[in-house]
Amino acid sequence: NLYRTLGIEIVNIKHPKENKYSSPLGYGRTFIWGKKNYLFSLRGQYGRELIIFSKKDQQGIRINAQLALGPSIGLLMPYYIKYSRNNRMEIESFNASTHTFNNVIGSASFIEGIDEIKIKPGLNVKAAINFEFGTKKSATALEVGFLADFFIKEIIIMPTAENYNIYPTAFITLFYGRKY
């Protein structure tokens, strides 16, 4: 009734104050005002899964509880904006002291700061309940849980807002597939 689990995932962590705006210059592009960095978390997880209730028949439901933890590698990548300065377009990292909202054209290409990635070490913890439906050959499940990334230092995503070193997440995951 007790299984070991291994997992790996990469996710984009957003700051709670992130809001998309359309360019005031009328170009139809969007940007996030005040954003300085993207934060991606590469998570490795090792855990245990306990069967709480087994299926009584083919149409039953199996309920599992899962607890996992592991390292988080935070990938901090600069967020660039296209900015109008003296009627010329410049690609720059956000700076609250020099940029004004009305001169932002939009966000720059996603890969613009990929060569400037900084690594931020951390830890993640996951707790979930899994409801498995289906027959012996099909895998359909619903997982509901909580996950938190803990980084050693505060991660600056938006310098104009409060930043954190702990990023909690509540999630619902739907699994659908086939068993072999």
Q: Dig out the tokens for 90 from the structure.
A: 């410049």
For the chain, the C-alpha Rg in angstroms (whole number) is 21
Residue with tokens 């027959």: 135
What local confidence, expressed as pLDDT, does residue 23 receive?
87
Q: Which pLDDT does position 133 carry in this prediction?
A: 85
Over residues 51-97, the pLDDT tens digits come to: 999 887 767 888 999 999 999 999 999 999 999 888 888 898 988 88
Q: What pTM value is reported for the model?
A: 0.84
